[in-house]
Amino acid sequence: MRWDAPAFEWQTVIFAGQVMLAIVENFLLFCMAIYSLVLVRRVCRTLAATPPSERAAQRGPLVKRTVIRFGAVYLMWWVVFSVIGYGDEVWTRSEAKDCTRSSAPEYEGKYFAEECPVRGNKDGDRILLRLYEVRTGDLVAEEFVSNPTHKLEWESGSINKMGSLRDSGTYSVRIFIPPTWPDKIRARLP
């Protein structure tokens, strides 16, 4: 493709890229939809091959086995994808460097925050926002922020960081001060 190609060709390439990205992002659902069609077809073939007098008796147990099989395979794939996703997050959090520290006068001596750019994002389009307790130096909460748009805001009872999503506008990541117990537990996990 030439660099001076008409705009409609580039729009086609961009659209195809977005479709591929959507397929990758929803790979588990895509695979499970195909698998469910295979199972339905198998049930239909099995019922068509049985004599009409036995179909009613076999339909219930066959459907039950099929639903259990689908649920087991879905659960297995969900666990695999969750472990892979969590492992990627652990790796990303462990490589966060060049952090910028900030604090607010009202929380001086209690908490400070760090904004750390994470790997794979050349232009700083994803950061890891961390909250530490000054007294112990322990990490007490952390959140990822995609495409940060504004500076870190210290408010009464929380810290906020604005981000933006592809074609969806802006959103805010908020960490409460003091952090909630789920935040503290997640911060202790690797």
Q: In the beta sheet, which residues pair with residue 155?
A: 158
**Could you give the CA distance from residue 188 to residue 123 in angstroms, rounded to a whole number?**
29
CA-to-CA distance for 6 and 1, rounded, in angstroms?
Answer: 10
pLDDT score for 68? 92
The whole-number average pLDDT for the span 83-101 is 82
pLDDT of residue 161: 75
Alpha-carbon dihedral of residues 27, 126, 102, 100, nearest 10 degrees?
120
pLDDT at 1: 45
Out of 30-39, 106-115, 118-127, 155-164, least confident range: 118-127
pLDDT in tens, 47-77: 888 888 888 888 888 889 988 988 898 888 8
Residue 56 CB coordination number (10 Å): 10
Q: What does pTM read for this prediction?
A: 0.61
- pLDDT of res. 122: 46
- Greater confidence (3 vs 69) lies with 69
**All residues at 6 or more sequence positions from 152 whose CB lies less than 8 Å from its CB, including other chains:** 102, 113, 115, 129, 159, 160, 161
Q: What DSSP character marks residue 105?
A: G
Q: Using N-to-C axis directions, what is the helix angle for 52-94 and 27-49, rounded to 10°?
A: 170
Query: What's the mean pLDDT in 106-111?
Result: 80
Tell which residue, 89, 146, 141, 90, has the closest CA to residue 117. 146
Band (84; pLDDT cuts 50, 70, 90): confident
Q: What is the mean pLDDT of the chain?
A: 79
**What's the CA gap between 48 and 90, in Å, rounded?**
50
Report the C-alpha gap between 148 and 165 in whole angstroms.
10
